[in-house]
Chains A and B, each alone.
Chain A
Amino acid sequence: MSTNQSPPIIEVRDIRKAFGDTVAVDGLSFSVAPGQVLGLLGPNGAGKTTTIKMLTTLLPIDGGAASVAGFDVATRPRMVRQAIGLAGQAAAVDEKLTARENLDLFGRLYHLPADQRKKRTEELIERFDLTEFADRPAGTYSGGQRRRLDVVASLIVDPPALFLDEPTTGLDPRSRAEIWDAIRSLAAQGTAVVLTTQYLDEADQLSDDIVVIDRGRVVGEGTSAELKSSLERDVLEVTVAEAGSRDRAAELLNGDEVVAIDETTLHLPVNRPADSLAALRRIQDAGIEIADFQLRKPTLDDVFLALTGEPTA
């Protein structure tokens, strides 16, 4: 996958959305070129779904501007709908219809002529490996099969822009890998993809660029490698034996940067490996039992933690 020099398919400038007093999206900007996968990464409630809904014309944009395939989302929603595919969080395929019928339904609603609809349906079934269940009602599918059909259904017209809202949430690893393959091959063929996810490995695997958002704002952006190298420091992870002594241990690590991951585990970025020895000794000298510790290179999780101040799921 490469980010090329073509003009962007999706352009978002400073968009905003509030529901009453709650600001859901607070000035978000990014652009996506053909063949590029942009990962919108953030915790629950970060504004990811709201952003997707605005860009796919489901919610009006309160401020700023966005365009898809050259059409302004606010003023040309009809044209935008012709240029996008969307797979939302709920797999919105019709459970009573088979995969073939669902694809045909979407083909009709995109106004494809009958011959192309049939050709395209068969092509998608074959290419995305839906053959074994193509003629069973979608209600009988596994979660992964249903999601796959949902994503594939949005491809019936080969849209220039594809929006996927948490496409693999709740799926088993094998199904996730299948969806990932599908997304990669789409991007390879030139589709601009915006993908939201809570999973760091998903963003790491798929995205050329990652935008980390929290409370509706961009808190970090860059490639996965750039984001990781922005955290040059190693991470010390300490697990204390008893939950009750965690907060005391956090004090002894004396840094504002200590983050509690769960009831017994703490994270501390350290400048030099030797610093971690001193930190551990302080905890031990206070009589707190250490169940486990490790010093490691930063992962995207750590980047996320550093940017949003909270651990991912």
Chain B
Amino acid sequence: MTTTTMPSPALLTEPGLNTRLRWAVDDTITMTRRDLLRTARQPEMWTFAVTMGAFFLLLFYYVFGGAIGAGTGVDYIQFLVPGVLVITALNGAQQTGNSLAVDLSEGVVDRLRSLPMNQGAVLTGRTIADTLRNTLTLVVVAVLGYLLGFRFSNLGAAVGGILLAVGLGFSFSWISAAIAAKVRSVEMVGMLSMFWLFPLLFASSAFTPTAQMPGWLQAFADNQPISVVADAIRALGDGADASGLILGSILWIVGLTAFFGWLSARLYRKNA
């Protein structure tokens, strides 16, 4: 047997700050690639994921469309598509927790933690990969919405509206990651989402205008992130002044990402 002793570059020298920053970026790209490659290898999963939003849209449009549209007197497709964009983004974000829980329970994470990689890259790689996939799903929804008669006021509004939904999905990916880092079981992650995501979704303007809700609930519903983003996208569709809602959306997205990013990194380190 030939013994090949290879030089191990930078193996036993303490990396400086610059090197560590470069590694953090490289590792995040590596983990994002890995997660995207995994997704690409499961065509049944990603086709389902990518068409999920379109499925929501068709379901709402044809099943509830008549009733809700007639009852509220709004142009239903203009109301519906932003709502579906938001719901789709949140649905895609749930995948982050599921995949992370699988990695945590199968020993993959233990293995990764023994490597000299940036440990945060396991989480950021995951959320970025899920967000990229989510972006594709959201574009599919927007295109289908266009075919059904939905219009953004202009191209810039279209890009901005989709980006807000993507951003909301990204911030909710971190909530999902934090929950997975805490409970580490796919079943628990799924069950818990019934307790926090569903109420949050229904007590929002995603499905129906908040006007008929009782006052206390309406106050909450109008200001929570899902509604703010949905309303911002609606404003971008109608060509109304969206600046306040867009600012509110960005504050929510940045705030949620910062807090849950910090929390999930902490829980991941502590419990792994």
A, B co-complexed: yes
A-side interface residues toward B, CB under 8 Å? 53, 56-58, 69, 78-79, 81-84, 86, 88-92, 94, 96-97, 101, 105-106, 108-113, 116, 119-120, 123, 127, 137, 157-159, 185, 188-190
Q: Nearest Cβ in chain A — how far from B122, in angstroms?
A: 10
CA distance A78 to B2 in the complex (A): 31
The 5 A-B residue pairs with the shortest CB-CB distance, nearest first, are A90-B107, A92-B111, A81-B116, A86-B114, A96-B41
- The reply to whether A108 and B5 form a contact with Cβ atoms under 8 Å apart is no
10 interchain pairs (CB within 8 A)?
A: A81-B114, A92-B107, A92-B110, A96-B42, A97-B41, A109-B117, A110-B116, A111-B116, A123-B4, A189-B5
Would you call B27 an interface residue if the criterion is a C-beta within 8 Å of the partner chain's C-beta atoms? yes
Would you call B34 an interface residue if the criterion is a C-beta within 8 Å of the partner chain's C-beta atoms? yes
The listed residue (B5, B27, B37, B42) touching A101 by CB distance below 8 A is B37
- The reply to whether B41 and A120 form a contact with Cβ atoms under 8 Å apart is no
A-B contact count (CB 8 A): 97
A-B contacts besides A90-B110, A127-B4, 13 pairs, CB < 8 Å: A53-B110, A58-B113, A69-B12, A91-B107, A92-B112, A96-B37, A97-B34, A108-B27, A109-B30, A109-B112, A127-B1, A158-B8, A189-B3
Given A120-B6, A158-B8, A189-B3, does the pair A111, B107 have CB atoms closer than 8 Å?
A: no
Q: Which residues of B contact A188 (CB under 8 A)?
A: 1, 3
Q: Which residues of B contact A79 (CB under 8 A)?
A: 12, 14
CA distance A123 to B23 in the complex (A): 25
Interface flags, B228-251, vs A, CB<8A=1, else 0? 000000000000000000000000
CA distance A286 to B5 in the complex (A): 66
Would you call B38 an interface residue if the criterion is a C-beta within 8 Å of the partner chain's C-beta atoms? yes
- The reply to whether B110 and A94 form a contact with Cβ atoms under 8 Å apart is no
Q: How large is the interface on B (under 10, 10 to 19, 20 to 34, 35 or more residues)?
A: 20 to 34
CA distance A108 to B116 in the complex (A): 10
The listed residue (A82, A89, A92) touching B116 by CB distance below 8 A is A82
Select the residue from B2, B23, B110 with max chain A CB neighbours within 10 A. B110
Select the residue from A110, A113, A185, A190 with max chain B CB neighbours within 10 A. A110
CA distance A97 to B108 in the complex (A): 13
Q: Return the chain A residue nearest B27 by Cβ.
A: A109
Q: Which residues of B contact A120 (CB under 8 A)?
A: 6
Q: Return the chain B residue nearest A119 by Cβ.
A: B6
- The reply to whether B9 and A57 form a contact with Cβ atoms under 8 Å apart is no
Q: Which residues of A contact B44 (CB under 8 A)?
A: none
- The reply to whether A92 and B108 form a contact with Cβ atoms under 8 Å apart is yes
Would you call B115 an interface residue if the criterion is a C-beta within 8 Å of the partner chain's C-beta atoms? yes
Would you call B194 an interface residue if the criterion is a C-beta within 8 Å of the partner chain's C-beta atoms? no
- The reply to whether B114 and A113 form a contact with Cβ atoms under 8 Å apart is no
CA distance A78 to B116 in the complex (A): 6
User: Using a CB-CB cutoff of 8 Å, which residues 110-162 of chain B contact chain A?
Assistant: 110-117
Would you call B106 an interface residue if the criterion is a C-beta within 8 Å of the partner chain's C-beta atoms? yes
Q: Which residues of A contact B15 (CB under 8 A)?
A: 78
Q: Which residues of B contact A127 (CB under 8 A)?
A: 1-2, 4
CA distance A101 to B106 in the complex (A): 19
CA distance A113 to B9 in the complex (A): 8
CA distance A217 to B38 in the complex (A): 42
- The reply to whether B27 and A58 form a contact with Cβ atoms under 8 Å apart is no
CA distance A111 to B113 in the complex (A): 15
- The reply to whether A58 and B12 form a contact with Cβ atoms under 8 Å apart is no
Q: Nearest Cβ in chain A — how far from B269, in angstroms?
A: 11
Q: Which residues of A contact B12 (CB under 8 A)?
A: 69, 79, 82-83
The listed residue (A56, A111, A137, A185) touching B114 by CB distance below 8 A is A56
- The reply to whether B117 and A88 form a contact with Cβ atoms under 8 Å apart is no
Q: Nearest Cβ in chain A — how far from B57, in angstroms?
A: 29
